Chains A and B, each alone.
Chain A
Amino acid sequence: MSPDLFQAKISRNPKVAWQKIEDKIVAVHPEKRRIHIIYDSGVSIWEALAKPKRFEEIVDFILEDYEVGENIVNKDVGNFLKVLKDKELISLEE
C-alpha cells in the first residue's frame, strides 16, 4: 500500500525530466512518454518540492506567497498533489 499523501514525505519523481520555461513548468515522464505543463500556483508547489517535504510544510510554503485562507490552500494543494501522484510526477515515502 502506498503511503498516505498527508503523512508522507513528498518528493519530485527523480525519473522525471523538467524545466521551467517562462512562468510554467514543463515536465516529461520519460517512461510514460507524457508531457505535462504546470501553471500558476502549481509552479510554486513544484518549486516547494526542491527538497522533499511533508504536506503541511508545502502548505506553509504556499501560504507565505499567497494571500488565501489556509482551508483553501489545504484543499488546493491536496488536490494538486493527488494529480501529481496519479501522473507519477511525485513519489511518497513514509
Chain B
Amino acid sequence: MSEVSLEIGKIILRIESRNEKFIDLIKKDYRNFLVKNYPQEDLNIFISEKKLSSGNKISVEKKGRDFILRGEKFRALFDRRKRFLNLYADCNQSVFNTFLRVFYSLILVFYEGVLVHSLGLARANKGYLFVGPSSSGKSTTAKRVRGFLVLSDELVILRRFKRRFYIFSTPFGGEYQGVRNRGVLLEKVFFLNGDKSVKNEDFWGTFLNFLSNTFFFPKDKECVKRVIRFIREVSLRFKGIRVNVLSNFEDVSRLISS
C-alpha cells in the first residue's frame, strides 16, 4: 500500500492505493501541493484501479447519506460522515485530475467555499479574482501579468474563514503551468467580458456573475442552497468590476494597483 497527502484549499487529503506507480505519479504531478507532518487529514481517498467504460457524463448525486460521483472513467462513493471516499478509476493522471475537480465542487460546499471559473492572482498577500468562462482571457492574462503570483488560470478556490474571504491555488489549471500552493485574502473581484468599457457591478450583477461561473455538479438541493447562500455573502462583501482584459490590459493593471 502506498500513500500521499495533499493540501488543496486548506483541506488535507490523504490518498491511498495499491498502485504504487500511480501514487508516485500523483506525488510528481501535485508536487506543489504535497504535505508532510500534518496533525490530521480532513478527508481520506482510497483508489482502486478499475477499467470503466467511457462516455459517462459528470454527475454528483446524493444517495442516502452518501454521494455518488461519476465521470469519464471514474466512479466514486463518498461517505461524508466518515470523511472517506472510495474511488474506482483508470489510474490515469487526466482521469484523476477531473475526479479531483468534481470532488472539490462537492466538498467545498461543506467547507464554506466554492470553485470559481477564474484567474487568481496574488501580490503582497492580497488576492485578485478575474471571474469568467472559457475564452474570456484568463490564461492570456496569466501569461502577461508581471509581479503577481498566479494561483490558477482556470479554477480558483474561494473560501470563507470567519468573516474573511480567501482565494487559494489549485492544481486545476488551464494553460499556465507552475502554480505554487498559496492562499491570500481576497481584495478585488473582476468579471471578464467582451465589452470594452469598465463598469462597476451592483449586488445582483456580482451575484449572477459569481453564480454562473461557479464550478458545480451536485444535484442535491441542500448543496445548491448552500452555494446560493455562500455566493450571496461574497456578493454582499465584494462588488465586481466588469473589464475586458484582452483589449484593456493596461486598465486592468491600473485597477489592481488603485
Residues of A within 8 A of B (CB): 14-19, 21-22, 24, 26, 28, 30-31, 35, 37
Contacts and interface: CB of A to CB of B under 8 A. Distances in A.
Contact of A37 (B208, B219, B222): B208
Interface string B184-222: 000000000000000000011001100110000011111
Contacts of A16: 221
Contacts of B211: 26, 28, 35
Contacts of A15: 221
A19 B229 contact: yes
Main secondary structure of the interface of A (DSSP, over half): strand
Contacts of B218: 30
Contacts of A37: 204, 208
B221 A35 contact: no
A49 B82 CA distance: 38
B224 A17 contact: yes
Interface of B: 203-204, 207-208, 211-212, 218-225, 228-229, 232
Nearest to A24: B204
Contacts of B204: 24, 37
A16 B222 CA distance: 10
A14 B220 CA distance: 11
25 contacts: A14-B221, A15-B221, A16-B221, A17-B221, A17-B222, A17-B224, A18-B225, A19-B228, A19-B229, A19-B232, A21-B207, A21-B228, A21-B232, A22-B203, A26-B211, A26-B228, A28-B224, A28-B228, A30-B218, A30-B219, A30-B220, A30-B223, A30-B224, A35-B208, A37-B204
Contacts of A18: 225, 228
Contacts of A22: 203
Contact of B221 (A21, A24, A30): A30
Contacts of B229: 19
Contact of B219 (A14, A19, A21, A31): A31
Contacts of B203: 22
B53 to A, nearest CB: 23
Nearest to A19: B228
Contacts of A24: 204
